[in-house]
Structure 1
Amino acid sequence: MSTTGGATTARLLTRTRNDVPVDTPRVPAREAAERELSKPMYHENDPNLLQRGLNRFWDWIGNLFDATSGAAPGGPLGLLVIFLVVIALAAALWWRLGIPQRTAGSADSLFDDSPRSASEHRSAAEAHADAGRWNQAVQERMRAIVRSLEERALLDPRPGRTADEAAAEAGRSLPDHADGLRASALEFDDVTYGGRTADRGAYRRLRDLDTELERTKPLLSDAVPGAAE
Structure 2
Amino acid sequence: MTVPVDIGRDEAREAARAELADPAYAAAQPGPLEEAFRWLGRQVTGLFQALSDIAPGGIAGLVVLALLILVLVIAIRLRVGPIRRGARAPGPVFAAGPRPAAEYRAAAERAFAAGRLDEAVRARFRALVRGFEERGVLDERSGRTADEAASAAGARLPELAEQLRAAAVGFDDVHYGGRSATEQAYRTLTALEERARASRPVVSAR
Please report the TM-score for the alignment, with normalisation by the length of structure 2.
0.56
The structure number with the bigger radius of gyration is 1
1:25-49 Cα deviation digits (max 9, x unpaired): xxxxxxxxxxxxxxxxxxxxxxxxx
Separation in structure 2 between the aligned mates of residue 160 and residue 113 of structure 1, nearest angstrom: 9
Question: Could you list the per-position Cα deviations for residues 32-78 of structure 1 after superposition, in whole angstroms to 9, with x for gaps in the alignment?
Answer: xxxxxxxxxxxxxxxxxxxxxxxxxxxxxxxxxxxxxxxxxxxxxxx
Give the alignment partner of residue 214 of structure 1, picking from 191, 197, 200.
197
The answer to whether residue 98 in structure 2 is matched with residue 115 in structure 1 is yes
Deviation at 1:101, TM superposition (A): 8.1
- Deviation digits for residues 78-111 of structure 1, max 9, x if unmatched? xxxxxxxxxxxxxxxxxxxxx99837xxxx1111
Runs of 4+ in 1 over 3 A off after TM superposition: 99-103
The higher relative CO (CA closer than 8 Å, separation ≥ 6) is in: 2
Unaligned runs of 5+ in 2: 1-85
**Do residues 183 (structure 1) and 166 (structure 2) align?**
yes
Matched-pair identity in %: 47
Query: Could you tell me which of 117, 130, 147 is aligned with 1:134?
Result: 117
The separation in 1 between residues aligned to 2:124 and 2:95, in whole angstroms, is 14
1:164 aligns with 2:151: no
Distance 2:105 2:88 in 1: 30
TM-score of the superposed pair, with normalisation by structure 1: 0.51
Q: How many residues align?
A: 121
Tell me, yes or no, if structure 1 residue 147 matches structure 2 residue 134.
Answer: no
Uncovered stretches (5+) of structure 1, i.e. residues with no partner = 1-98
Alignment RMSD: 1.7
